[in-house]
Amino acid sequence: MDDRFNTIAGWTLFGGIVALGLSSLSAHYFLADKEHRPEQMGYAIEGVEEEGGAAAADLPLPNLLAAGDVKAGEAIFAKCKACHTAEQGGANGIGPNLYGVVGEAAAAGRGGYAFSDALKAKGGNWDFANLDAWLKNPKAYADGTKMSFAGLPKAQDRANVILYLNSLGTNLPLPAPVAAPAAGAAPAAVAVVGDAAKGEATFAKCKACHTIDQGGANGIGPNLWAVAGEKVAGDRGGYAFSDALKAKGGVWDDATLDAWLLGPAKFAAGTKMTFAGLPDAQQRADVIAYLNTKK
């Protein structure tokens, strides 16, 4: 049992080392000067800020550090162990021992480790920002470095490893997180980006009562051509709106449509629109994006 476990562990370790070697080799030959990212980061809508995955990756480093996790960083450090020890007094290997490296002068001391001229020339201290840039892409940071490691493309991974390094005999105070929305950013209410094509599919639910093409007939509900931006319960070819919706007033901007589609009866108690609503915020955003194309 033990033997078999050791054999499996041995091969797993060996596999890991081979994979690491291959990834750093291939990184060396194919990715050395390229940004390791897809050409296009998802799908953008004109005039709308990107949200979700891409934006999360671009959070400022102080925020990523604040949200980070030392344990997760320790797990990622497994990738570094092929070349680095981390414990106090650990031996230098292919790379230097890293105990207490955060805040220290770069390429200095480390028990006489022979640093490359490239990293020595770079100088500076290993503060959080420099570590982040280094771990993102060592070769971009110090062209000619001996650290043949492709880098950690995920910003949160880097922040986690930095927190782990900081826990090793340094514990520098973390920088304060940056307040989230920069001046001039989209209002917080526009939290979800809609997809008009998906919205058209969801609109199938509305078709029981609504037409949407220009000049389409009123049915149980009014024709919805160019409803986005129009007056609530305005003139829809003489459609007889409920007093409840007429009393509401205002215009169908995105936020108003969102509240309406979340719960028509809640938005205008007594409305004739006997539709439960769309509880899913993404579906509402999609439908609203679709309504905005129909004008």
Rank residues 27 and 193 by Cβ distance to ligand HEC and give the closer one.
Answer: 27
Choice between 61 and 101, CB closer to ligand HEC: 101
Residues 212-231 that bind ligand HEC (CB under 6 A): 220-222, 224, 227
The minimum distance between CB 213 and ligand HEC, in angstroms, equals 14
Q: Is 100 in the site for ligand HEC (CB under 6 A)?
A: no
CB of 212 to ligand HEC, least distance (A): 9
Q: Is position 79 an interface residue for ligand HEC (rule: CB under 6 A)?
A: yes
**Amino acid in the structure at residue 16:** G
The whole-angstrom separation of Cα 157 and Cα 136 is 10
- Distance of alpha carbon 280 from alpha carbon 258, whole angstroms: 10
Report d(CA 61, CA 128) in Å as an integer: 8
Burial class of residue 289 (count of CB atoms within 10 Å of its CB; 0-12, 13-18, 19+): buried
- Give the whole-angstrom CA distance, residue 223 versus residue 245: 15
Q: Does 194 bind ligand HEC (CB under 6 A)?
A: no
Q: How far is the CB of 53 from ligand HEC (least distance, A)?
A: 22
Which of 178/251 has CB closer to ligand HEC?
Answer: 251
> Of the candidates 74, 146, 167, 211, which one interacts with ligand HEC according to CB under 6 A?
146
Rounded Cα–Cα distance for residues 101 and 5 (Å): 35
CA angle 67, 174, 50 (to 5 degrees): 40
Q: Work out whether 289 is an interface residue with ligand HEC (CB under 6 A).
A: no
Q: What single-letter amino acid sits at 229? A: G
Site for ligand HEC in 42-71 (CB under 6 A): none
Cα angle at 46 between 40 and 50, to 5 degrees?
A: 55
198 near ligand HEC, judged by CB under 6 A: no
Question: How many residues sit close enough to ligand HEC to count as binding (CB under 6 A)?
Answer: 54
157 burial type by CB count under 10 A (0-12 exposed, 13-18 middle, 19+ buried): buried
Binding positions for ligand HEC, rule: CB under 6 A: 24, 79-80, 82-84, 94-96, 98, 101, 106-107, 110, 115-116, 118-119, 126, 135, 145-149, 152, 161, 205-206, 208-210, 220-222, 224, 227, 232-234, 236, 241-242, 244-245, 252, 261, 271-275, 278, 287
